[in-house]
Structure 1
Amino acid sequence: MWGTLPRIFDRACSYYADRTALVDGERRLTYTEMHDWANRVGNALVRLEVGKGDRVGLLMPNCLEFIPTMCGIWKAGAAITQMPTRASAEDFHYYLDDVQASTLIYHEAFDEAVAQIRDRLPGLQHVIRLSAGDPLPGALDYDATLQRESASTPAIEPHVDDLAFVGFTSGTTGVPKGVLQTHATWSHYAVTAGLEIGDIRPGEVFAHAAPLTHFSQTFVMPTFMRGGTNVILPGFDLDLLLDTIEGEGVTATAVVPTIVYMLLDHPRRDKVDLSTLRTVVYAGSPMAPDGLRRALETFGPIFVQTYAGTEPGYMTCLRKEDHRLDSPEWIERLASAGRPMYHVDLTIRDAAGHVLPPGEPGEICAAQPGQMVGYVDASRDAETMQDGWVRSGDIGYVDAAGFVFIIDRQKDMIVTGGFNVFPRQIEDLLITHPAVAQCAVIGVPDPRWGEAVKAVVVTKPGSDVSAEALIDVVKQHKGSVWAPKSIDFTDVLPTNPSGKIDKKSLRAPYWAGQRRQVN
């Protein structure tokens, strides 16, 4: 039986009491100091009669306070409602209203957003504001509230099957759905992140430049379990990340592929000592094989890829030893998402639910202990959960050696003239052009073909390339059906709060006035 998250946290704080647990700039906490802080948060919430069955919204940027506050919510027996900080005020309202949150703990950076939505959340009984300035009328001051509380462990004992966490899907293909995780499922998720993905070792120093509301958070508890230090950065400032790796002796970090590409071209890359860095986990989107090859040649075999979803949890891993350049076979596997993890059952299924053989594309489905237990709206469970299996919504296939190749999101697939076209395969070709920094491929309305393939491209600074040249790249490799019929150039691609390219937003102008987003 998996332990509750407070029990795992308390054990780490006991084992490594005097070690440094958290770093945020000049601020540092030992495990004992962090433990006392979390207890005060828990006791404050208990005093406010917040506990089992309650859902507490946590709206904070990357900062020292995030971690002990998160753990304190669990210590009170309540569940965290995770809210990505890059979302809008209306998104925050949606998240809090959907879960019927009783409490919101937020950072003053979000004063304006909270002011817009607070009066429209009648169920929100308590608002606690973290601020360096004056208290906000009607809100409890975070520091003053905690100073009144004992640092003793709250007299609450959550059960492993109690709700611990509510996350939300990215909403790239529709309205975000609230996903429920218990202490058992979330602790399994964390252990998986530490042991099978991050290979967290004793004394690990893990830098969190990615938002703690995203996948980087899953490496916080594993680092504590190994007596390591979590270094909190305010965001993806590459100079700050490089300085922190050198200054703190960072051994591991988790990033999106775009950051790896930017590091490869950073003018200070060779001027900073990165010798301590031995693990870089990349996730959120695939890396183009050519870019990954360059990263391996530059940094060495330090990369790990994960494939996960909010609902199914971590499914596959392309381990360090799988990132090989010594044969065509292994180079081809760099385009995969790796193999299923040891605790994951993974199958490829057709529309009727039949399991498909190796090499046949279909929907990726998984079953494992860390998967969701359901949605906030239980009526939607059957859309995704069937006989213990979670449908990922992704199309892919498994080769004879068990490597999983993701073709595309099921709902991103373009049907043009009766042919199924998968945007990711086109994107992987376009990104190989030396002038292309980022790209996204979508389907747009076409009176003849139903949908036409369109690419939206961001070029590298100082680079120039014609639409015709890029179209020809795809045509040579995939043929005319797959080649974009048009290409738009832009300075930046829109992203959703989790940092993924927001294709729904890209498609919207082209499908305005249409009754549906496919033809």
Structure 2
Amino acid sequence: MLRHGRRGVVEEGPPVNPAAVLTPVTGLEYWARLEPDRFAVVEDDREFSFGELAELVRKTAGFLASAGVVPGDVVAMSLRNSLEALTLPLAAAYLGAQISPISFRLRPRELSPMLARARPRVLVYGEDAADVLHGSEVPDETLLLAREELRAGVGAHGPLASRSALVSPSEPYTLMWTSGTGGAPKAVCGSLGARMNWVLGIGQVYRVSSADGYLAAMPMMHSAGLTFALAHTFFGARIHLLPRFEVEEVWGMLHRGEVTAGLFVPTMLQLMLAADPDPARKLPALRSVIMAGSRLRPELHARLLERFPGRLYNYYGSTESPSMTVLLPHEQADHGDSVGRPFLGVQLTVRNSRPVEGYVEPLGEIFAHNPFAMDGYLSPAGEGSPDERGWLRTGDLGWLDDDGYLHVVGRQSEVIISGGMNVSLPEVESVVGAHPSVMDVTVLGLADPVWGEAAAAVVVLASEVDQGDALADLDAYCRSELADYKRPRHWRLVDEIPRTASGKPHLPDLRMLFSSRDLEG
């Protein structure tokens, strides 16, 4: 590696990356040389410069290497957004290891088979995951480290001077887990090259620069939350780590002009709007409000455009095939019913289209040719991989309009057959969500003894709505807006809809709200 000497001459040093391939740590090393004293990370009341962060990553890599981590090994982490949640992926890249973020919300029944598949060499956990981990089956070769133990070990360890193995874009780098919306999470294998393509794409499309302050509110155990943080570090932005999404704290940072960009799911933005302390206040520093995750209801979209004019982005992607589209700020007003056009480097096609009642355009399955896509699932080998021409099956239904904008209806499984008729659950959800008493809603399909399948709605009412007559009012409203076979046959009122880290409804928990006795009547 070339280093600047004290008098500006260039000296030779040990190569961090002998094969000269870009990795997530390459950008950090660049900024550590160029502006070592500029702040890179803010965690609580602590600030770390780029020079300090780079040194910490090298020391973390050295500590992991002393713990037996070698290229190809899995380094798992079950952490809230924190300094360690950022340094571990960077240290893994330094070592040629794989990073595998794991939700701290899991239970032993869910976590044990995941660990059996991933077989991590090291698993770093926070206090949220301690009890669950100690009740789970952990592989013998896995070293469990509490976050405090990692900090102590890294603090006492010297930095790793260089990595011993050559880097290749085809090396495995990420072992992510699907949201598990319909069942057990799947292990998604991704290469270093794919993740770096996404990092570079984020920088280009969202115009990330060293002048940005990025709000890391999206959990970094989620693929997008992790990669957006890595991308902003790569391009020299300052990262504000938020371990818990506290609405008042977020508004305070926005009002003080500390952040210019952030990644959110719709639920987070909805909570922010509901608790906006000064809706008329301008936010001159804020440049990008980026949205991913679950479907965006039209009325929420309208409110977001009003509060964040000219700043709203939303995109469509999945753990297996990230960032397939993006809808830019200037496109929101005219194309807000879509998820945008193909993201940088992505090609999309819709196959096997067929008419579905309630939609003007025929619906087909969306396929993506994506430079950020996974290599496949961990087990069984090769399952889910792109085909021989590089096209990945998404399992989502939608259509492309004449201007190239993609309209996503939902999963193929979100079209049920009720009384012999096709019913689009997203259509039902959109109708229920448009009622003024509804703050949040999700609609799922359930087995029904009369209809075969029927729509079931889980609703969060607005705070000022009386629950007494709410369900009768909603049912009457649906009778007026939907064909009878489409309207929900089952209803539940809840304080909060159970969701995954990516903001998608968690179907197993939702189904538990409806007992078999309820469905017999």
The separation in 2 between residues aligned to 1:287 and 1:243, in whole angstroms, is: 25
CA RMSD for the aligned pairs? 2.4
CA drift of 1:350 comes to 1.9
The separation in 1 between residues aligned to 2:91 and 2:257, in whole angstroms, is: 27
CA drift of 1:383 comes to 7.5
The separation in 1 between residues aligned to 2:481 and 2:127, in whole angstroms, is: 51
SS at match of 1:65: helix
The 10-residue stretch of structure 1 (75-84 or 473-482) with the greater mean CA deviation from structure 2: 473-482
CA drift of 1:74 comes to 1.9
Give CA-to-partner distance per residue, 1:398-436, whole Å, 9 cap, x none: 111111111111123221122221211211222221110
Contact 2:409 2:426 in 1 (8 A): yes
For 2:139, the equivalent position in structure 1 comes to 121
For 2:124, the equivalent position in structure 1 comes to 105
Mapped pair 1:365 → 2:367: yes
Give runs of aligned pairs for residues 9-28 of structure 1, distance below 5 A: 9-28=28-47
CA drift of 1:468 comes to 3.6
Give CA-to-partner distance per residue, 1:351-390, whole Å, 9 cap, x none: 89xxxxx932111110111100111114451587564211
CA drift of 1:153 comes to 3.1
Mapped pair 1:440 → 2:442: yes
The separation in 2 between residues aligned to 1:142 and 1:186, in whole angstroms, is: 25
The separation in 1 between residues aligned to 2:492 and 2:125, in whole angstroms, is: 39
Mapped pair 1:236 → 2:236: no
CA drift of 1:187 comes to 0.7
Contact 1:444 1:511 in 2 (8 A): no
Give runs of aligned pairs for residues 78-477 of structure 1, distance below 5 A: 78-117=97-136, 120-124=138-142, 126-131=143-148, 141-156=149-164, 157-196=166-205, 198-214=206-222, 215-247=224-256, 249-270=258-279, 274-324=283-333, 330=334, 333-350=335-352, 359-379=361-381, 381-382=383-384, 385=387, 387-464=389-466, 466-477=470-481
For 2:79, the equivalent position in structure 1 comes to 60
The separation in 2 between residues aligned to 1:473 and 1:199, in whole angstroms, is: 44
Give CA-to-partner distance per residue, 1:447-493, whole Å, 9 cap, x none: 23201122111101121353243234344444222222232222222
**Structure 1 counterpart of 2:240, one-letter code:** V
**Structure 2 counterpart of 1:189, one-letter code:** W
For 1:496, the equivalent position in structure 2 comes to 500
The separation in 2 between residues aligned to 1:319 and 1:221, in whole angstroms, is: 22
The separation in 2 between residues aligned to 1:65 and 1:272, in whole angstroms, is: 35
CA drift of 1:271 comes to 7.9
The separation in 2 between residues aligned to 1:376 and 1:185, in whole angstroms, is: 16
The separation in 1 between residues aligned to 2:140 and 2:159, in whole angstroms, is: 32
Q: Describe the shift of the 1:14–1:92 C-alpha distance in structure 2 as closer, same or farther (beyond 3 A).
A: farther
Stretches of structure 2 lacking an aligned partner (at least 5 in a row): 1-19, 355-359
The separation in 2 between residues aligned to 1:271 and 1:300, in whole angstroms, is: 12
**Structure 2 counterpart of 1:42, one-letter code:** A
Contact 2:369 2:392 in 1 (8 A): yes
Contact 2:492 2:513 in 1 (8 A): no
Query: Share of identical aligned residues, percent?
Result: 25
Q: Describe the shift of the 1:90–1:485 C-alpha distance in structure 2 as closer, same or farther (beyond 3 A).
A: closer
**Structure 1 counterpart of 2:491, one-letter code:** I
**Structure 2 counterpart of 1:507, one-letter code:** R
Contact 1:81 1:165 in 2 (8 A): yes
Which of 36, 41, 47 is equivalent to 2:60? 41
The separation in 2 between residues aligned to 1:32 and 1:11, in whole angstroms, is: 10
Q: Describe the shift of the 1:479–1:383 C-alpha distance in structure 2 as closer, same or farther (beyond 3 A).
A: farther
The separation in 1 between residues aligned to 2:323 and 2:515, in whole angstroms, is: 33
SS at match of 1:203: coil
The separation in 2 between residues aligned to 1:237 and 1:509, in whole angstroms, is: 27
Give CA-to-partner distance per residue, 1:284-324, whole Å, 9 cap, x none: 11211122112212221211001001111210111111112
Q: Describe the shift of the 1:68–1:267 C-alpha distance in structure 2 as closer, same or farther (beyond 3 A).
A: closer
Contact 2:385 2:392 in 1 (8 A): no
Q: Describe the shift of the 1:412–1:24 C-alpha distance in structure 2 as closer, same or farther (beyond 3 A).
A: same
SS at match of 1:117: coil
CA drift of 1:509 comes to 5.7
TM-score (norm 1): 0.88
Contact 2:375 2:385 in 1 (8 A): no
Q: Describe the shift of the 1:192–1:477 C-alpha distance in structure 2 as closer, same or farther (beyond 3 A).
A: farther
The separation in 1 between residues aligned to 2:40 and 2:141, in whole angstroms, is: 35
Q: Describe the shift of the 1:510–1:263 C-alpha distance in structure 2 as closer, same or farther (beyond 3 A).
A: closer
The 10-residue stretch of structure 1 (374-383 or 407-416) with the greater mean CA deviation from structure 2: 374-383
The separation in 2 between residues aligned to 1:37 and 1:267, in whole angstroms, is: 37
Contact 1:360 1:398 in 2 (8 A): no
Give CA-to-partner distance per residue, 1:216-269, whole Å, 9 cap, x none: 222222222332101001221100111122335211111111222222222513
Q: Describe the shift of the 1:321–1:350 C-alpha distance in structure 2 as closer, same or farther (beyond 3 A).
A: same
SS at match of 1:180: strand
Q: Describe the shift of the 1:267–1:178 C-alpha distance in structure 2 as closer, same or farther (beyond 3 A).
A: closer
The separation in 2 between residues aligned to 1:384 and 1:182, in whole angstroms, is: 13
Q: Describe the shift of the 1:342–1:146 C-alpha distance in structure 2 as closer, same or farther (beyond 3 A).
A: closer
The 10-residue stretch of structure 1 (8-17 or 27-36) with the greater mean CA deviation from structure 2: 8-17
Contact 1:36 1:152 in 2 (8 A): no
Stretches of structure 1 lacking an aligned partner (at least 5 in a row): 132-140, 325-329, 353-357
